[in-house]
Structure 1
Amino acid sequence: MLDASLSPLRLALVAEDPLARGALSRVLGDQGSELQLLASGTQVELETTRGEAPDVVLWDTGLRLADTETRVDAPDLGAPVLALVADDTAGELALGAGAKGLLFRDVSPGPLTAALYAVARGLAVFDPGLSELRASTKTAASISTATQGPDTLTPREREVLALLAEGLSNKAIADRLGISEHTAKFHVNAVLAKLGVQRRTEAVVRAARMGLVTL
């Protein structure tokens, strides 16, 4: 386990934008002996020129991660990844790509350093503004490790199921519950998985048969 009093945290910084990379390098450098920046560059550069293995990877996803049309993968440098994201859409993509923690790109140096240490120790770190994504991630993890079934539906998922029975779209569900559309999609997918169906209409029919909703 890392001990900040004994040795600095060895860090690799991945950012496609050179301006963002330079700004983050300065911020990290200002943390003194707490952090040791081993390497800084684009994802391709660092993955093709491997050096000393870092303890953690800081991945700035930029402003337009959600606009990409290709598969997104977190940097593969042999260490857990903390992603800096512009919004919850980018956060969803970064989580799906393999990031272990999420912070907004405007995070201040103190919380950023603390989060880097936490992720390096194997902990999950989420900005409070991304709490819905965090909850959805926990739900997805529980689906993969626990027995699925309607009894495992969370209160939020039961709300989503009731709105599915009303025929609402993900956007309408998000508006009704005051969450993002992407978080609503997470909850809908969790409901489908726990009911063992592939389509929304099948979920409603099965839920009605189980007495979970009234049509």
Structure 2
Amino acid sequence: MNEPTDKQEPLRVVVADDQAAVREPLAAMLGLSAGIDVVAAAADGHQVLAAVATSTDRPVDVVLMDLRMPNMDGIEATRRLTEQHPEVAVVVLTTFADDESILAALGAGARGYLTKNAVRQDIVRAIRAAAAGQSVLDHQVQQRLLATARATSPAPSQSLPSDITPREREVLTLIGQGLPNRAIAERLFISEATVKTHINNLFAKAGIRDRAEAVRRAIFAGLA
């Protein structure tokens, strides 16, 4: 993804974690990253929702969300954000990579899922991808989703439509492998704009909401 230019507004980010020893250094670290403006830090889901609701003059782009927080956890906060502020992307950053946490977070609407061993570059990349409507899943998370898919019979609603073209199937396969658009373009020897067109068509045909759901569909269809 291209670095922000002077003409682009910095991404407005809320950092949510119940531990101040994690939340404050994380907010400071992201605040030093080009093109990112940390506008609030929250200790629970209620504070996340309040921070988003009160940032009317500077709308929030992305919430970096911990899962296990008091009063309102990250899953419920993500669900409410998806319902009330669908324009705000959620990237989960947690120590938990179990099936229940992953599926609950993605089901609630999270666009990205990282574990806390992610380095700064990974976190920044996930924030930028989420703001652009894309998803970044930790490698460990992808492996857990794949294992879950292998142990689960796909539901009829998860099968792919018959009008999916061979090229769209190739694109979905590469999405399922976690490749970003630029890498997909290089692999298929097409332009990144063409990849985006294929993804838009694929999502429309298959009723796929976002990239995280595309990864799940690719896995259940046996493509990843």
Q: TM-score by structure 1 length?
A: 0.55
Matched residue type, 2:60: P
CA shift, 1:114, in A, is 1.1
* CA distance, structure 2, for counterparts of residue 99 and residue 141 of structure 1: 22
In structure 2, distance between residues paired with 1:29 and 1:130: 26
The within-5 A match list for 1:68-79 is 72-74=76-78, 76=81, 77=85, 78-79=87-88
- For residue 69 of structure 1, report the CA deviation from its aligned partner: 10
Q: What SS is found at the alignment partner of 1:107?
A: coil
Residue in 2 aligned with 1:4?
A: 4
Residue identity in the other structure for 2:91? L
Q: What secondary structure, in the 3-state scheme, does the structure 2 residue paired with 1:37 have?
A: strand
The correspondence for 2:30, drawn from 28, 31, 45, is: 28
Unaligned runs of 5+ residues in structure 2 are 163-215
Q: Deviations over 1:130-167 (max 9, x none)?
A: 11345468x9798357469xxxxxxxxxxxxxxxxxxx
Q: Percent identity?
A: 21
The answer to whether the aligner puts 1:94 opposite 2:105 as a matched pair is yes
Q: Determine helix, strand or coil for the equivalent of 2:76.
A: coil
Pairwise CA RMSD of aligned residues? 3.9
Local SS of the residue matching 1:16: coil
Residue 157 of structure 2 corresponds to which residue in structure 1? Answer: 143
2:112 touches 2:136 (CA, 8 Å); kept in 1?
A: yes
1:49-64 alignment, distance < 5 Å: 49=51, 50=53, 51=55, 52-62=58-68
Matched, 1:13 2:39: no
**Counterpart position of 2:92:** 83
Instruction: Give the TM-score, by structure 2 length.
Output: 0.53
Counterpart in 2 of 1:112? 123
Partner letter of residue 66 of structure 2? D
Could you tell me which runs of 5 or more consecutive residues in structure 1 were left unpaired when the two chains were aligned. Answer: 149-185, 192-215
Q: Does the Cα contact within 8 Å between 2:91 and 2:112 map onto a contact in 1?
A: yes
Q: Which residue of structure 2 lines up, in the alignment, with residue 153 of structure 1?
A: none
Residues matched between the structures, number: 147
Q: Answer 1 or 2: higher relative contact order, Cα 8 Å, separation at least 6.
A: 2
Letter in 2 for 1:36: D
